Structure 1
């Protein structure tokens, strides 16, 4: 393999290295083997987030959030010394587990070659709504499929052309969704490459992050505060990816992956910033849970979607407890009777009476227990002043994405490493130990 790779320990600069590999087109012909310069001991396959890339992007330039990891990683592999205070990061572990003391971050082997490239794809959400602005009506589902197809094709292509290469798939946001799906398939032996070809995987703000629960702490308020800010997060499944950073309960906004990461569970790390609803959806985020699935809809999907929701509604009503149904019916009749009387006696009071029904009666709560659907739960939550504040806060967090964009400065360990710094150091140590 040494004869077919570009040695990163030579005098080539990073710019010269990137220039040497730009001959590869964004979407190579599957029948044309990759150029020899595409092979390396380690190839990082970075899947950017929404709006960070497009189908015609330069494969050899890793943009956005992942560029903060991939670009320094390649620089360090060329022999540039790591930061003086660099330390090998240690993932947070469940309470009671021991943790080795971090050591100085290892320098890359001088004979090791490392390359990083992005996976160009149509990275967008919003479907027809976004299409009015972008001109491309792809939904999240279609964009995700586009990205996964591109990642699988490139990984398979390189795996066949470079039999000794190890891969490091990583993704951010929608890219984490795609990279996570890829790693899950490989880890469950359903992917396009063998699990042994994956050196490591890293996910930032994965919309399908496996569920985790915050550890409960005891003791003084000061110790509890300290624990909550830097305590470990427990896995709820043995095949879940390894969570790094402060406790963040909940799961990805699109739910968990069946089978988790399989045999790759200990080789894949995930990070989720506090208040990043994209990867930490919990029961309190009712509006977000109801709205996000709509991002997958096209006009053609709408009839099937409505039929499906109608069928689920009928199924929930049919399986509801009879006493719960009776209470909902009684409550509804009582409130409708009040509205009818108000309309007949003094129509001017009808708006006030209607507000009383919506905001002060138990009718909607009683119906919600029978309906048992996220859309209705979201509606009911907006009628309660205390819950309304929570829902608005959650929706604002999801839409403004302040926490979602924070991984470059979001600290995840006691050394003060940010999420991107931690992954950079972790991958450096993996490359040192794994080759």
Structure 2
């Protein structure tokens, strides 16, 4: 009986197939849909479109990968187009919008996020939204994330390169990368204080916090509040009001200003083409290879 049923099924399928009633196939992806769509977010004062460090990171990624630079104000001070928090919020919104546009037309395409400095700040915030289920984009639609000199780098992030003792100057994303953590990576030159501020530099951390919260990204407000609470709690555990006054006093302020000036003069923030995260492999080269390997 089983053999008879099997033969009948085979014949029936052959007949139906002849009439064009075979099992329907999924529609092919629309023409021009890339396998990987890299959204690259440049740093401050890049005019939002100048590749800068990311030029070498996104070059030669292969025919299955399309690169789109995200335009935004890319400014930091009140006398410019937008203060830092507002500029970064714009970058997050623009990156999210481009990703959603691509996924609406090409649902099979996977997104990759890469950013440098303020661009890493923005790309990292969006990655955190996605990884923790706070975005319309699903974690499975993101192939990978690369953040270079991220001002919100956390000690819990996947660091490529030497171990780091500090965290980002703007305070870490306390919710982290969620489901994206296994494929999200951060690169930070140890003397780059934007991504590696000592935890006892409270004045620097407060300044970074104020920059981040100047017209902040809406999805990050609760995390900013949590970071403020962390700073206050750490200060309160130093040894009472006297210790807090000393920690926030003029002497400590001068020490941190001197350290920050030395950092700016060193140029380490712009050395990622030379900074080696592995023997013979620069941060830029590592990032380029990672993105190229996603397709």
TM-score under structure 2 length normalisation:
0.76
8 Å CA contact retained: 1:186, 1:193: yes
1:428 maps to which of 283, 292, 295: 292
Which residue of 1 is the match for residue 137 of structure 2? 193
**Structure-1 separation of matches of 2:214 and 2:144:** 36
User: What per-residue deviation string (whole Å, max 9, x for no partner) do you get for residues 182-217 of structure 1?
Assistant: 111111111121111111110001111112xxxxxx
Aligned pairs for 1:39-50 (under 5 A) are 39-50=33-44
Match status 1:291 vs 2:207:
yes
Task: Report SS of the residue matched to 2:99.
Answer: helix
Task: Report SS of the residue matched to 1:147.
Answer: helix
**Structure-2 separation of matches of 1:118 and 1:43:** 11
Structure 1 residue runs of 5 or longer lacking an equivalent are 6-38, 79-112, 212-239, 300-307, 326-366
Which residue of 1 is the match for residue 167 of structure 2? 251
**Structure-2 separation of matches of 1:397 and 1:141:** 25
**Structure-1 separation of matches of 2:174 and 2:237:** 27
Distance change in 2, residues 1:196/1:290 (3 Å): closer
Match status 1:261 vs 2:177:
yes
TM-score under structure 1 length normalisation:
0.53
Match status 1:377 vs 2:247:
yes
Residue 392 of structure 1 deviates from its aligned partner by: 4.1
Distance change in 2, residues 1:405/1:368 (3 Å): farther
Count of aligned pairs between the two proteins: 252
Residue 270 of structure 1 deviates from its aligned partner by: 0.3
8 Å CA contact retained: 2:36, 2:294: no
8 Å CA contact retained: 1:286, 1:391: no
Residue 67 of structure 1 deviates from its aligned partner by: 1.1
Residue 143 of structure 1 deviates from its aligned partner by: 0.9
Structure holding more strand per residue: 2
**Structure-2 separation of matches of 1:426 and 1:412:** 13
8 Å CA contact retained: 1:286, 1:381: no
8 Å CA contact retained: 1:285, 1:394: no
Structure 2 residue runs of 5 or longer lacking an equivalent are 1-27, 216-224
Aligned Cα root-mean-square deviation (Å): 2.8
Task: Report SS of the residue matched to 2:114.
Answer: strand
User: What per-residue deviation string (whole Å, max 9, x for no partner) do you get for residues 68-107 of structure 1?
Assistant: 111232xxx14xxxxxxxxxxxxxxxxxxxxxxxxxxxxx
8 Å CA contact retained: 1:124, 1:139: yes
1:115 maps to which of 66, 71, 74: 66
**Structure-1 separation of matches of 2:132 and 2:184:** 13
Which residue of 1 is the match for residue 127 of structure 2? 183
Aligned pairs for 1:25-40 (under 5 A) are 39-40=33-34
Aligned pairs for 1:291-370 (under 5 A) are 291-295=207-211, 367-369=241-243
Aligned pairs for 1:149-160 (under 5 A) are 149-160=93-104
Match status 1:411 vs 2:295:
no
8 Å CA contact retained: 2:29, 2:108: no
Residue 397 of structure 1 deviates from its aligned partner by: 4.2
**Structure-2 separation of matches of 1:401 and 1:118:** 28
Task: Report SS of the residue matched to 1:169.
Answer: strand
Distance change in 2, residues 1:400/1:290 (3 Å): farther
